[in-house]
Amino acid sequence: MSAPILSARGLKKSYGGVRALRGMDIDLAEGEIHGLCGENGAGKSTLVKILGGLVEPDEGELGIGGMQVELGTPVDPALLSIVHQELSIIPHLSVLDNVMLGARDVGRIYRRGPFRAHVRQVLDSVGLEHVSLDVQAETLPLAERQLIEIARGIARGARVLLLDEPTATLSDGEIEKVFAVMRRLKAEQGTTIVIISHRLNEIFALTDRVTVLRSGQHVMTANTAELTNARLVEAMIGHELQTGEIAPSQAREGVAPRLSLTGWSLPGRFASLELDVQPGQIVSLVGQLGSGADTLLESLAGLHPARGALSLDGKAATPRGIAEAYAAGIAYVSEDRAKRGVFLEAAIGTNLVSQILDRVSRNGWMVSSDVRERATQLAQNFAIDPARLPHDVSTLSGGNQQKVSLGKAAALGPRLLLLNEPTRGVDIGARAEIYAQLRRLAEADGLTILFYSTDLEEVLDASDRIVTFYRGAMVRDALRPQMDADAILHDILHGPDTPNTEAAA
């Protein structure tokens, strides 16, 4: 490799007794796309924050573009720019202002006019042709806010672009647009791009080289073309992945449905539909952004005022908000964990029991032994280290924060669990643990689970039934063995009108 555009040596960082990085070395070549892989908590996000000057390491050296960089000081965004996993969008600012936020070339007086054409071009390149420059960012769906975050990094023209889980909330069509932009930046501008992703198919499809971290240490750097999926996974987790096939539950004769929807609709979002789901079944809702699949899930949690009849175990239940949903036995896990899933500055143990305070309190006072017992059990169920229960959730990696959000919802003991992007930002080993725990809840407790996901691999791995959507209408409701990725993609991209004779029957 010629002289690297970025070179880091001996980076170390500890948070209290937790060693996040243990002497990390990494070199990035100019004009390469470099994958950064590892389990949740391996140190990937800490490394990215150190490279961007957002976190000061305890030890180490960093050079970018042949110049030594003062560690702990924000790097010039024209040299290096970060797209974070947790969004830094300012909700009340316009799309234009969010894209220009932090740019160095705006001058002492910010005049929007000179930048409109450039920002419009960048937004169009990531698939946001329909989004006005002047609309407030808070009015946009999470996936579109993620694309604005990516557009901000591109607009700065940085020589090094660091992307932390940039596609976690995006559909396949949106992901392909982002990939096309990344390839163009590499080919036409020589931009060096680092991508953190738990979707290994993205790593193999996009990157030139891959670096693996485990427990804060550098494990290997290799050419992507020389790797296999099994070798990459083994490097990440330290052993061969043992997943096992999770057999889907089948519909049982004579069993009354847990959830029943009749004429359920939300005008302008999804058309009237009928759906019955039995106790113990796991059903995935799949569709592109705007298809109505995610909105249907949210409507069941009371977040949208849908029409029609909803019943649980034969009893009418039409929640008009999260509180009413909880009271009816419905728990919801948001795709936006930082904003709606966890209390970042509260202890992990407190978060896990935060929905069941009445069960761990006496006479209005929390009983520490009860809190500890409940929180420890929930932590173990979702593979969270019980020793970290006193630590704030903000000290966890994004994937482990997601597990806290799932454990918090499961603590309620609901009859219906609704999950929006259930393993967003979760590594491959932890995903298998989460799927196994959800399956245990379904089979042992009869919990009915509906989830929305843009990850087709997840849909095929975790579902008993797959319900596809296209432009606000249900296309198909089928058992998992009757579906494959081609059939799902045909449904969500083309709808029911053009038969796919090659799709799974």
Q: What is the dihedral of CA 54, 147, 395, 294, to 10 degrees?
A: 170
Question: Percent of the chain scored above 90 by pLDDT?
Answer: 47
Flag whether 246 is in a domain: no
164 and 221 assigned to the same domain: yes
Only one residue has tokens 């500055």, namely 345
66 and 142 assigned to the same domain: yes
Q: What is the DSSP string of 296-361?
A: HHHHHTTSS--EEEEEETTEE---SSHHHHHHHTEEEE-S-IIIII--TTSBHHHHHHTT-GGGSE
Residue 455 is predicted with a pLDDT of 84
Q: How many CB atoms lie within 10 A of CB 247?
A: 10
186 and 300 assigned to the same domain: no
297 and 220 assigned to the same domain: no
Residues 282-319: tens digit of each pLDDT:
999 999 878 899 999 999 999 998 999 999 999 999 89
Check pLDDT > 50 for residue 503: no
301 and 161 assigned to the same domain: no
13 and 147 assigned to the same domain: yes
Expressed as residue numbers, the domain containing 388 is: 259-264+272-494
Number of structural domains (the chain) is 2
What CA–CA distance (Å, rounded) separates 296 from 300? 7
Flag whether 398 is in a domain: yes
Flag whether 503 is in a domain: no
Residues 6+ apart with CB under 8 A from 85: 45, 164, 165, 168, 196, 398, 425
186 and 311 assigned to the same domain: no
Q: How many CB atoms lie within 10 A of CB 116?
A: 13
CA angle in degrees (0–180, nearest 5) for 245-241-438: 50
Flag whether 245 is in a domain: no
Q: What's the CATH number where 122 sits?
A: 3.40.50.300
Q: For residue 27, what are the β-bridge partners? A: 7
Flag whether 502 is in a domain: no
56 and 200 assigned to the same domain: yes
Flag whether 247 is in a domain: no
Residues 89-99: tens digit of each pLDDT:
898 999 999 99
176 and 220 assigned to the same domain: yes
155 and 276 assigned to the same domain: no
Flag whether 248 is in a domain: no
Length of the chain: 505
What b/e sequence results for 16-48 when a residue is b if at least 16 CB atoms lie within 10 Å of its CB, and e otherwise? eeebbbbebebbbbbbbbbbbbbbbbbbbbbbb
pLDDT class of 247 with cuts at 50, 70, 90: low
Flag whether 26 is in a domain: yes
Residues 43-76: tens digit of each pLDDT:
888 899 899 888 999 999 999 988 898 998 888 8
What CA–CA distance (Å, rounded) separates 47 from 50? 5
319 and 196 assigned to the same domain: no
Only one residue has tokens 């555009």, namely 5
Distances (CA, A) of 265 to 67, 85, 200, 450: 59, 33, 36, 17
* 67-68 sheet: strands from edge to edge: 18-28, 6-15, 59-64, 67-68
**Mean pLDDT, residues 494-499:** 69
